[in-house]
């Protein structure tokens, strides 16, 4: 019976210290904001209509022209748009945006797993998830920047559609959550490692 009591004392001594409410709240907030950013970015990529310039609507999937007599006439062949290199440039922006969503989903999964399954590698999983969110930011911002540079002659501030601003907001949230995740991981006590005696 004494051996069992000693073993129980060792196990109790190796328990992880409890995290504060504030740290748990911040980590939960980062996960929630990341999930929101994934949804915003997904909707923005799927809808894809990002810029309205006079009677033309430029998107990731279609190019539309509007007239007063009829509704919008949309073409899936972006090479017919009066912008040189639009098909290739928009295809690249679309691919980069989709990769950003995929990387963010994997990052979100790592963040959630690190909080649900607390083990010796939880801090590492959280850091990897935050790094994937940083990669998502770079990809989504690169897609946005490429789109704006490609259509720089048609761009006006009021011409950007709501879905463009959704992607912009998602890109900002990816950056904010990645930096916050890395920062909170570096300043908090390594609660996921056993105490040394």
For residue 75, which of 87, 91, 92, 89 has the smallest C-alpha distance?
Answer: 87
CA 15 to chain centre: 34
Give CA–CA dist 142/14, Å, rounded.
46
Is residue 99 within 8 A of residue 150, CB to CB? The reply is no
All structural domains of the chain with their residue ranges:
32-51+87-187
Give this prediction's pTM.
0.78
Whole-number percent of the chain with pLDDT over 70:
82
Whole-number percent of the chain with pLDDT over 90:
37
In the structure encoding, which two tokens stand for residue 55, read together?
């009677």
For residue 67, which of 77, 54, 79, 76 has the smallest C-alpha distance?
Answer: 54
Q: What is the pLDDT of residues 161-193, one digit of tens each?
A: 899 999 999 999 999 999 998 888 888 755 445
Give CA–CA dist 63/192, Å, rounded.
52
Please list the alpha-helical segments (H only) found in 48-194.
Answer: 86-116, 122-150, 162-187
Is residue 49 within 8 A of residue 59, CB to CB? The reply is yes
State residue 19's pLDDT score. Answer: 65
Average pLDDT of span 33-45: 94
Residues 6+ apart with CB under 8 A from 96: 139, 140, 142, 143, 146
Is residue 122 within 8 A of residue 79, CB to CB? The reply is no
For residue 58, which of 134, 150, 135, 171 has the smallest C-alpha distance?
Answer: 150
């Amino acid at each position: 019976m004494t051996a069992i009591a000693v073993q129980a004392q060792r196990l109790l001594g190796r328990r992880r210290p409890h995290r504060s409410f504030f740290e748990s709240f911040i980590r939960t907030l980062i996960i929630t904001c990341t999930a929101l950013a994934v949804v915003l970015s997904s909707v923005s990529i799927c809808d894809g209509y990002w810029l309205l310039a006079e009677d033309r609507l430029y998107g990731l999937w279609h190019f539309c022209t509007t007239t007063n007599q009829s509704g919008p006439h949309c073409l899936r062949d972006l090479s017919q748009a009066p912008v040189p290199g639009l098909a290739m440039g928009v295809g690249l922006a679309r691919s980069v945006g989709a990769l950003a969503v995929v990387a963010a989903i994997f990052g979100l999964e790592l963040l959630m797993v690190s909080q649900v399954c607390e083990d010796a590698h939880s801090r590492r999983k959280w850091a990897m998830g935050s790094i994937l969110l940083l990669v998502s930011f770079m990809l989504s911002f690169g897609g946005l920047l490429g789109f704006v540079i490609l259509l720089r002659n048609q761009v006006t501030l009021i011409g950007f559609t709501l879905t463009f601003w959704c992607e912009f907001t998602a890109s900002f949230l990816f950056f904010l959550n990645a930096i916050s995740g890395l920062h909170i991981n570096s300043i908090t006590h390594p609660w996921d490692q056993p105490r040394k005696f």
